[in-house]
Structure 1
């Protein structure tokens, strides 16, 4: 693959799957194809090959969006590390404004992008919606 990036793109982020997996990162997954529940590594569930990639040429794909998701997950995961223990102990999570904004942005952006990219028509994959407002509290995700 000319782009050198990941082939499997997850529509449920691995950072979320890890929170439901065992110590070997196995997720007990129901398969409609086998009609049973089987442990599968989180790298192999809730994913599709090149889901967020745009075809640039015959042998090259643009994986900018997949890389941006990975970067965003790296920002969000530590916030979830703070959030989960509070929720499990039935306490209100004590998150700062920046953390709340980052979690909200992650939740909203993932849903919008997933809807666009799961519509398999080529026209819907050419243009991503762009927000007219810019948030100054989150650091921008680099194109590089």
Structure 2
């Protein structure tokens, strides 16, 4: 296994499902003024240089977290997505096994924890500052690590607890579902922050066909253009949920709004997001 400087916060094992027949994805960068939709290789999107690399006091690099993410999540999740796509297109009903459920929940949490936006937010919290101070003090008393203080603090943020255990607690009680657009010409986009949270209305929450969860929100994660992972209600579903066009627009717009950049297999889906976002911004300016 190599030691890549480009470290993806949305794994290539997911992004490959968003490739077109030419092996490229459509990419839109919201941060670039006057930017347009462009085609890119999946390796050139959703990455940050040395995002998870830890630096030793002597300047050498430690790639253990990057390798662990690849081994525990990125390699396994691609195979799981392929299995669920095959089942979905074949029309077969198959409940999610315990191992796959554990992997999906841990992967969803991992995507959130490893995201640059999350890391930037955590670095600004008092708890992170306190951790940095404690590690600095501990090192001054008894040096226990060859890593720099900054690297030790990053390691603490990314690997504070067993991900499977934490994900089980965080998503405890939610029903697990897979979704597909009802219109065969529609698809999901995926954003640089790929998992989004929805807060249903009181009526939607109470009348949820999968039962009323203890917490009044839902999580949505696109896995492929025509497959998404949904945490909603308290009961699982064995067959994919058909998502109507208006909800596809709602999900894509949410992902577009919260992300700095988006990827899609379809140029049209990104253009729809841009148009819907512009319309929403105009409505807000008039209100």
Q: Which runs of 4+ in 1 moved over 3 A?
A: 85-94, 116-124, 131-135
**Structure 1 residues 39-54: aligned runs within 5 Å:** 39-54=39-54
Tell me the SS of whatever aligns to 1:110.
helix
In structure 2, the partner of 1:26 is 24
SS at match of 1:36: coil
Structure 2: runs of 5+ lacking an equivalent: 125-149, 167-287
Quote the residue 1:102 is aligned against: 103
Q: In 1, Cα distance between the equivalents of 2:104 and 2:68?
A: 15
1:63 maps to which residue?
A: 63
Asked if 2 retains the 8 angstrom alpha-carbon contact of 1:9 and 1:48, the reply is yes
Q: 1:10-21, aligned counterparts within 5 Å? A: 10-21=8-19
2: CA distance, partners of 1:27 / 1:102: 26
SS at match of 1:28: strand
Alignment partners' CA distance in 1, 2:47 and 2:122: 15
C-alpha offsets along residues 57-102 of structure 1, whole Å, 9 cap, x if unaligned?
A: 4542111111111112112211111112344567655332211111
Q: 1:125 aligns with which of 136, 154, 168?
A: 154
Q: Are the equivalent residues in 2 in contact too, given 1:18–1:42 (CA < 8 A)? A: yes
Q: Quote how far apart the aligned CAs of 1:47 are.
A: 0.4
**1:46–1:90 Cα change, 3 Å:** farther
* Corresponding position of 2:119: 116
> What RMSD in Å do the two structures reach over aligned CA positions?
3.0
Equivalent position of 1:140 in the other structure = none
Helix, strand or coil for the counterpart of 2:114? helix
Q: Which has the higher contact order (CA 8 A, sep 6+)?
A: 2
Taking the aligned partners of 1:8 and 1:119, their CA distance within structure 2 comes to 22
TM-score by length of 2: 0.40
* Equivalent residue runs for 1:71-86 within 5 Å: 71=71, 72-86=73-87
Stretches of structure 1 that go unaligned for 5 or more consecutive residues are: 136-144
Classify 1:120/1:48 alpha carbon distance in 2 versus 1 (closer, same or farther; 3 Å).
farther
Cα distance between partner residues in 2 of 1:133 and 1:45: 27
CA contact (8 A) 1:53 1:63 kept: yes
- CA shift, 1:50, in A, is 0.5
In the alignment, the residues of structure 2 paired with residue 106 and residue 45 of structure 1 have an alpha-carbon distance, to the nearest angstrom, of: 19
The number of aligned residues is: 132
